[in-house]
Amino acid sequence: MKKLLLISFILSLGVNASALAADWRNDIQEAVKYSNYNRINVIAASNPDAQGEIALFLLQKAQESKASPDQDVKLFAAATPFVGRIPAADASKASDVVRAHLELAANPDFQKKYPRQAGDIFVHALYMSGQPNIVAYDPTLHAEVLEAANDFIKRSPSDADKKLLEEISLAQAGGAPETTPVGVIEPSAE
């Protein structure tokens, strides 16, 4: 009887964990559907152990987004605060999305048509590419983002907003986070 109760308890934990994962995905999809991007922060705060998964989910949604550059950038930006929580095993996926967005933002035609969105991509890509888990996977990405962002400013100084200029200044000064986010494996610790 005790074994049966223990097995039932363990199974219910697994079902509850699956239900919770489905809940945050459904909640985020609904927030995106109604363009309620502030709600994503609330959902992530309510699910601290899933923040890395949430970041990946948002990055993948941004990659798939064909609706508009505005929505794509909003999804990309929504993932930014949580990218440092992406497990090292999934850093390649995040790096690929950042690199794809970098290519988009660096495209002169895109910059002409969507200068604000290009600048926003650079701002968020600079932050993401400087996270320890992304740097450990792709050590050159941050420098590539910084170079492309500087080129954008040289070509279109009037399109560079204060946030982009500050993020570039921080990146040039070597402003990476001083502590590794929880859940990120430090390369020196392996």
Is 150 a member of any domain?
yes
| Helix axes of 115-129 and 162-172: crossing angle, nearest 10 degrees | 30
Is 127 a member of any domain?
yes
Predicted structure pTM score: 0.77
Is 184 a member of any domain?
no
**What value does the mean pLDDT take over residues 91-114?**
95
pLDDT digits (tens, 9 = 90+) for 159-177: 888 889 888 888 888 755 4
CB atoms under 10 Å from CB of 81, counted, come to 17
Is 31 a member of any domain?
no
pLDDT at 87: 95
Comparing 51-60, 138-147, 149-158, 166-175, which segment has the lowest mean pLDDT? 166-175
- Is the pLDDT score of 19 beyond 50? no
Is 130 a member of any domain?
yes
Is 96 a member of any domain?
yes
Q: Which domain holds residue 105?
A: 51-177
- Is the pLDDT score of 13 beyond 70? no
Is 11 a member of any domain?
no
Q: What pLDDT band is residue 50 in, cutting at 50, 70 and 90? A: very high
Is 12 a member of any domain?
no
The residue behind tokens 């995106």 is 32
Q: How many domains is the chain partitioned into structurally? A: 1
**What value does the mean pLDDT take over residues 91-120?**
95
Give the chain's length: 190
**What value does the mean pLDDT take over residues 148-167?**
89
* Structure token digits, residue 146: 């910084």
